[in-house]
Amino acid sequence: MLQPNRDRFYRQVVRNSFGTVVTSVAEVLLAGGPQTVKAITKAVPNVTGTQIRKSLLALMQHNIVQLNLGDESKPNTYHLHEEMIHYRICHPDYIVHISNKYGKEAKYMITEFCKHGKLSRQKLVENTTRHLLMEEYTIEERPEDDSKHSDAVVQAFKKLVKEQYIRKADTLTNKFETVSVSSKKKVGMEEVKAIPT
């Protein structure tokens, strides 16, 4: 695909999924390669630093952007994965494939990943079980004990892990010593201290 058409396609996919503010951050990363938060802030006019951080967080949640940790001489940078943008339009194909091969439990599980990006196992099982119960029962008929459905979801999860459709997500917990919220900042604006190497 020619570069201008490819970039326009990627911008449209991000805009449809996340909105204009996130798209403006993605455009900077798409055009300039890996960037620091400071460089992104300078390149995106009329967008606050908070909006840029939230946009980066949303893109990281969906594996579209990756944080590359720097050191004292080199700052942290953010890198855009173009193939993950392309993946967003293939969601229906993945869902149909998984549904045909592994059943409705696996279908709802993959749907949750497509919607939310990274999820904990507990949250994934809860959301998938909720979808199964909503499909099978009305609110009045819903059983008190949903362990039958939860067990089926856990079995589907194990199959998807074994077949490598699901893998453990990279987390920042191994790379950072502490995460603390300053009393001067709003909740959600964490200060992160890197572990010395």
| Confidence (pLDDT) at 154 | 87
| Confidence (pLDDT) at 2 | 59
Residue written as token pair 């802030």: 41
Q: Are 84 and 62 in contact (CB under 8 A)?
A: yes
> Which residues does the chain have with pLDDT short of 50?
1, 172-195, 197
**Could you give the CA distance from residue 112 to residue 128 in angstroms, rounded to a whole number?**
7
**Structure-block tokens of residue 178:** 């502490």
CA pseudo-torsion sign 21, 27, 33, 38: negative
| Confidence (pLDDT) at 183 | 43
CA pseudo-torsion sign 9, 50, 40, 193: negative
| Confidence (pLDDT) at 81 | 84
**Could you give the CA distance from residue 91 to residue 111 in angstroms, rounded to a whole number?**
8
Q: Are 166 and 141 in contact (CB under 8 A)?
A: no
Through-space distance between the first and last CA atoms of the chain, rounded to whole angstroms = 42
| Confidence (pLDDT) at 171 | 57
**Structure-block tokens of residue 144:** 């008190």
Of 160, 57, 162, the residue nearest 112 (C-alpha): 160
| pTM metric for this prediction | 0.59
Contacts (Cβ under 8 Å, ≥6 apart) of 174: none
